Amino acid sequence: MNADPDTIVALATPSGVGGIGVIRLSGPQAVALAEAIAGGGIRSRRATHRRLRATDGTVIDDGIVMVFPGPHSYTGEDVVELQGHGSPVLLQQLVETARGLGARLARPGEFTERAYLNGRLDLAQAEAVADLIHARTAAAARLARNSLDGALAREIEPVAAEIRELRVLIEAEIDFGETDLESAVAPEVADRVAALVAGVEALRARLHPARVYSTGMRLALVGAPNVGKSSLMNRLADAEVAIVTDRPGTTRDLLRANIAIDGIPVELVDTAGMHDSADEVERIGIERARDAAAGADLVLEIRDMARPDARAALPDLPGIPVLRVWNKADLMPGASVADGLLVSAVTGSGLDRLRAAIREQAGLADGAGERFSVRTRHLEGLENVATALGRIRAEQPPDLIAEDLRLAERALDGLLGRGDHEALLGAIFAGFCIGK
């Protein structure tokens, strides 16, 4: 349970002008502070209309007060929401009034941190709250919602249960066995551990693609001048993001557009045409194009069907996949290609195949990994579990087997935030917005 005696306060709705704004309080004095602002007799879990006043009795606003008693609240503590008009000035006055009465301004993510500390959420669910708030596509929001329902914990709980059972088995032999050097149950443990390792590695491989829904993808469009990079960018973005002319070298700097491709958040980067140039400004743009390609998750090498010899000298891109896209198919009706995709930025033909290919490059073909939101930390945790279990051999002394099982269980506990992980919590909740 959270031992922090402070009552915290923060604006829970976005800053700026709006129809309504919500001030949230949580902690042992939340109800008392709300009554000092709105008057006594507030009923729990009922919307009560009140005049909200400063400490000197001056009316700040008319609004709604709602009380959610702990432990059945978001944070597990007494929580109060003051709903007023969405004026930044009035809302700030309410926050300052609560602070003057003894509340402390909440740290980023502190409400959700208290929900975790009070057992209302596990750590993966708490992270899902942030993922849901920051979701850039409907698909990302859906996966975060599944995580908030505890989907990740349900996925890994059978692994945790099996590890606990194996620890009981081997540690019982340590306590009651005849020797510390050999184990009669070690072969059975090793066989079951081998199956566990295979399962954990398969789970990690299955979950890895879903990470792209929270991190997004960066796609760099590169190629020779005038092959249609900017036209293709505009078609994918469904907006006139880039200036398009028949003059080679129109694009001289990086142009960016944030879009969604089948639910995947994607940053498109249009680049200057790569070629030998004596123009200093154009050379700088070409160098930036090379840097953009080196920093991309996927490079779309754009070629011109009408000018097949027009190609750019791509830089070395170790580990970065390159997808060749032949543009201007509308100029070559009936043509086909054997080394890439055929599209037309003018008519839109072939773009569905291009989107499918991008999705496949992200590892999401056939809906793979689309179960819940996944973070790098989750994948690293599963890798640590597999590493610890992978060291176990039947010929090892039982105490070594027991230690690796303990380390595997600890890695799983860290994944869900069970146990003492103060530094980890600080890093995770620092990325939340204030008021959540």
**Cβ(170)–Cβ(186) below 8 Å:** yes
148 and 244 co-located in one domain: no
Please state the length of the chain. 436
282 and 334 co-located in one domain: yes
69 and 174 co-located in one domain: no
**To 10 degrees, what angle do helices 398-416 and 376-390 make?**
170
106 and 75 co-located in one domain: yes
Which amino acid is located at 173 in the chain?
E
The domain in which residue 304 lies consists of 217-296+298-361
Asked whether residue 127 is domain-assigned, the answer is no
pLDDT tens for each residue of 23-82? 999 999 999 999 999 998 899 999 999 999 999 999 999 999 999 999 999 999 999 999
How far apart CA 228 and CA 250 sit, in angstroms, is: 11
12 and 105 co-located in one domain: yes
How far apart CA 350 and CA 352 sit, in angstroms, is: 6
Q: Which of 122, 144, 165 finishes a domain?
A: 122
**Lowest-confidence pick of 103-112, 127-136, 335-344, 411-420:** 411-420
List 6's β-bridge partners, or say none. none
347 and 274 co-located in one domain: yes
16 and 109 co-located in one domain: yes
Entry pTM = 0.72
Please list, residue by residue across 11-40, b when 16 or more beta carbons sit within 10 angstroms of its beta carbon and e when fewer do.
Answer: bbbeeeeeeebbbbbbbebbbbbbbbbbee
Quick one: the chain helix, strand, coil %, rounded to 5? 45, 20, 40
Backbone angles phi, psi at 258, to 5 degrees: -95, 120
32 and 66 co-located in one domain: yes
Q: Which of 101, 122, 143 finishes a domain?
A: 122
Asked whether residue 367 is domain-assigned, the answer is no
24 and 142 co-located in one domain: no
221 and 356 co-located in one domain: yes
304 and 353 co-located in one domain: yes
Confidence category of residue 288, pLDDT binned at 50, 70, 90? confident
How far apart CA 202 and CA 269 sit, in angstroms, is: 33
pLDDT tens for each residue of 217-235? 999 999 888 888 888 988 9
CA atoms within 13 A on the CB side of 300: 31
**Cβ(141)–Cβ(175) below 8 Å:** no
**Lowest-confidence pick of 6-15, 61-70, 248-257, 350-359:** 248-257
Q: Percent of the chain beyond pLDDT 90?
A: 43
Asked whether residue 427 is domain-assigned, the answer is no
How many domains, in total, are found in the chain? 3
Asked whether residue 433 is domain-assigned, the answer is no
Which amino acid is located at 71 in the chain?
P
- Inform me whether the pLDDT recorded for 253 exceeds 70: no
10 vs 23, 135, 356, 423, CA distance in Å?
6, 22, 43, 24
- Mean pLDDT computed over every residue of the chain: 86
Asked whether residue 243 is domain-assigned, the answer is yes
339 and 377 co-located in one domain: no
Q: What angle do CA 384, 387, 391 make, to 5 degrees?
A: 145
